Structure 1
């Protein structure tokens, strides 16, 4: 059998059951047909074969981001980037520039601000945003995606006045009875949906997101949802038109009214697994609590930074059991956003109750984030065969804030070493755009547990490079019931591969972040190339 592409003289990190490392790999059309020595692979050469000399560089299975928000990532690129500002003053200047080119009455949108990283050390207020414009409605979303600030015009258009009652699972922040413009959790979700992008803007954003993800070596994405009920349709349309080039496993939920979205999915008669190798329906998903960095995550004990607060819940146990229990009974894989240990415990109980009522082998139920998982919850996850979807890149961006907000509980946050030692499968996701989509950043964070200031956060939870690679490749495929199709470099699997610019197995741990993607091969075709040298 002759190959259409040969990759030789490399560090082929197969991520097979033995985690073997080979020299070369052969591809025919969209499948891997052989892995072995240079001599074995070159024997499959024909006149039409493209030959890529890796010169000792690593080639890995294509990265599988097990939790990301493509729509949010893409539409963020259409707004003002608050991560590029170092202060509220600087962010307001960027918003004023945007206002100059925005017709009056049209939304001005920003994203990515983090009060902990700004000189002023505080949240935005509506008075800050009123100084930008009172003719435009303005919304700026915090980096966590669970909090936003709006100006007076936005509050007026949305019909929110000082007498407005807080929505279930959310809060309108007030000072001396006055609305500050700061919106927490469901209050933010409702406002964002009110200020949502048009379908054309969403489709453009999805295309931008896909291209950025290809440049980071991401060939598969478990899309964790958008704000509204049209998100799945947007994804399907973008995949069909090849605006999204990655393979999509779509979590069936929404950031606003997730139980209502799940109910609609059940009424439609579909279930997890519907679709093909390019897009499949994933688990039914709901939100239980808030964000780790807000902080609004629901914890058993109050925050170290605020003894009067322990977070926000979207659902109580009965509501959670009803929503996801019904989905489990209808054959769905189920999952939930759960950050704090109280929320993680609630999801474990929901899965236990569902399995007790309707036993099922190989359910592969998940917990998105499982951000704070102490030993008692770890044991229950193991007993119930629950998959964790942690986000180690959060440690880099938010780790110092975690120490301030949670104290010693950082030792059980995104506890990868404990997952590994207890046999709890974990597939890593970026949760981008909340933090970087780059899998190399996620691997670096998992291995070093260093924050962006250089502090080590929960040193005992560090894992090996090999474990981190597996969590960003094979286990992601396992978490979507697709390990027979992808996730490792083995004959018969899809030719989704990523070539790095150096060896990932021999570079110094602190140098991992410097690794770059050189080639992204998807379905046997080069979809991204940083440079062409080595191709004959």
Structure 2
């Protein structure tokens, strides 16, 4: 066999879960350049071995297709990891304080201490109470300490005394008060953020370094392709340059804001699919229609619990949404519309059915789409409109949703089984850094629908392990119009592979959530190895 037919990389002595009907399970896979050239038995793949082939024996480890995050804010992650303690999976206040303390010891003396989590809720913690200023005083009393999640910031006593302006709130916004002291507890809901002026801790990084660091974090978790939703124009240009230079550790699907796509100068520089590169592609154009369920502002048909006049709001009128979407579609871009409330979803889905069927510019999709009615599900399927969903929110937001909506409505949140039964193409994602970008706990959440507080939100909507995995592989690739090159392991597809520390086809949801990635391969190159924690430069084989 000639050198030009030799593989550059062979993974062998493995359990390869291909998600391809032609060869569902194999024990070896070969990659030449950035493409898979062979999948099968060791003897079959051995035919592609040459003198320069790198052969890695995996001792029976599981290999799966590179995972896909269909909705995130990728470029924010690198800076976050450099400047914050990560508190996403804390199950006790004691653990949260310990992580913040370790972070304090890593940053310069006197620098403010920041932490980021998904949703701090009393029922999530072993102590069964909310974090307060006194807890954060254990981290530092001589500088600000602040932790932030999807709908609040909690600060220490130093920040209460030096970084808070309660006068900025006016009379209509209240904050929790400690009955013992008469002072704020330290928790400031999103509506009170104007009062919180905690200085940031910064780490000098170039934009290129931020993007490389961000994609490296996704690669550590086995995510080889991630959507960056609405990055600024400068970030888009930097992504394209880093992609061409082979500097990214994971592929990025750029989802530009619709307002950018409406600009003729942007369209002269970029086009949907016409401007794709080695490690980047362009996805649909995005618009936010309504607001946020965790802020009590998603556009709903029924009011929020205990707030009878509040049914949420939109960022723009429906008429303006129609005009913007029609303009973008006319210029050759599919649509991605952010909708979180049931009323907003119904309105946006109706617009997209009228506008985007047939999907001549590629598959359009709704983003988040938490509360679909049966009519909406039927309409999405008939119009070939998909949905980018975040199953991890079931676990980390579920208890707060019970507080905001009541148990009955909370159980209708993200009815994944109903989506699949209706034939809607679903792609899983994280919305990182709103929640963590590790997809394995999110897959487990899709299987159990169990909140961190132990409540199950309608078990009938739970997915099988195979369907949960497909959310981040085959159907995610289809949602983004990349099914011909990503999502499964087969000859001709891109060489994006992930090696795991366990057989996820045979483990419980709890074991699945604890899965660790031991190696990540992007475009045929090993970009991450867990053995020594090393991230390798993707341009080096």
Residue of structure 2 in register with 1:246 after alignment = 250
Residue of structure 2 in register with 1:527 after alignment = 527
Describe the SS at the equivalent of 2:284: strand
What CA deviation, in whole Å up to 9, does each residue of 1:279-311 have, x standing for no partner? 122211111233343443222212235444333
* Alpha-carbon offset, residue 426 of structure 1: 0.5
Q: Within 5 Å, which residues of 2 pair with 1:405-424?
A: 405-406=404-405, 407-424=407-424
1:220 and 2:219 equivalent? Answer: no
Which is worse superposed, 446-455 or 379-388? Answer: 446-455
Task: Report the RMSD for the aligned CA atoms in angstroms.
Answer: 4.1
Which is worse superposed, 312-321 or 424-433? Answer: 312-321
Residue of structure 1 in register with 2:537 after alignment = none
Describe the SS at the equivalent of 1:293: helix
Q: Which of 190, 209, 212 does residue 214 from structure 2 map onto? A: 209
Distance 1:251 1:197 in 2: 27
Q: Within 5 Å, which residues of 2 pair with 1:80-479?
A: 80-81=85-86, 83=88, 110-112=115-117, 114-117=119-122, 141-142=148-149, 144=150, 161=168, 173=173, 184=190, 200=205, 203-226=208-231, 230-240=234-244, 242-253=246-257, 260-264=259-263, 268-269=267-268, 270-273=270-273, 274-304=275-305, 306-355=307-356, 360-361=359-360, 363-406=362-405, 407-479=407-479
Instruction: Tell whether the 8 Å contact from 1:102 to 1:108 is kept in structure 2 after alignment.
Output: no
* Alpha-carbon offset, residue 133 of structure 1: 9.9
Distance 2:105 2:39 in 1: 55
Residue of structure 1 in register with 2:73 after alignment = 69
Instruction: Tell whether the 8 Å contact from 2:261 to 2:267 is kept in structure 1 after alignment.
Output: no
What CA deviation, in whole Å up to 9, does each residue of 1:472-519 have, x standing for no partner? 112222222222222211111111101112222222343212322121
Instruction: Tell whether the 8 Å contact from 1:206 to 1:243 is kept in structure 2 after alignment.
Output: no
Describe the SS at the equivalent of 1:430: coil
What CA deviation, in whole Å up to 9, does each residue of 1:41-79 have, x standing for no partner? 123323333323333322111111111112222222213
Describe the shift of the 1:267–1:64 C-alpha distance in structure 2 as closer, same or farther (beyond 3 A): closer
Distance 2:142 2:291 in 1: 30
Describe the SS at the equivalent of 1:379: helix
| Number of residue-to-residue matches in the alignment | 505
Instruction: Tell whether the 8 Å contact from 2:246 to 2:278 is kept in structure 1 after alignment.
Output: no
Instruction: Tell whether the 8 Å contact from 1:396 to 1:451 is kept in structure 2 after alignment.
Output: yes
* Alpha-carbon offset, residue 327 of structure 1: 0.6
Distance 1:350 1:99 in 2: 52
What CA deviation, in whole Å up to 9, does each residue of 1:109-158 have, x standing for no partner? 55337452477967989xx99xx99998x98642x2x66589798788xx
Q: Which of 6, 9, 13 does residue 9 from structure 1 map onto? A: 13
Distance 1:247 1:26 in 2: 20
Instruction: Tell whether the 8 Å contact from 2:6 to 2:48 is kept in structure 1 after alignment.
Output: yes
* Alpha-carbon offset, residue 326 of structure 1: 1.1
Instruction: Tell whether the 8 Å contact from 1:477 to 1:486 is kept in structure 2 after alignment.
Output: yes
- Structure 1: any 5+ residue segments left out of the alignment? 165-171, 254-258
Q: TM-score when scaled to structure 1?
A: 0.80
Q: Which of 44, 47, 55 does residue 51 from structure 1 map onto? A: 55
* Alpha-carbon offset, residue 266 of structure 1: 7.4
- Structure 2: any 5+ residue segments left out of the alignment? 177-183, 533-541
Describe the shift of the 1:47–1:155 C-alpha distance in structure 2 as closer, same or farther (beyond 3 A): same
Describe the shift of the 1:350–1:140 C-alpha distance in structure 2 as closer, same or farther (beyond 3 A): farther
Instruction: Tell whether the 8 Å contact from 1:6 to 1:25 is kept in structure 2 after alignment.
Output: yes
What CA deviation, in whole Å up to 9, does each residue of 1:191-222 have, x standing for no partner? 99x98979836544433332222111111111
Distance 2:495 2:132 in 1: 47
Distance 1:19 1:305 in 2: 54
Distance 2:38 2:107 in 1: 55
Describe the SS at the equivalent of 1:424: coil
Describe the SS at the equivalent of 2:505: coil
Instruction: Tell whether the 8 Å contact from 1:74 to 1:202 is kept in structure 2 after alignment.
Output: no
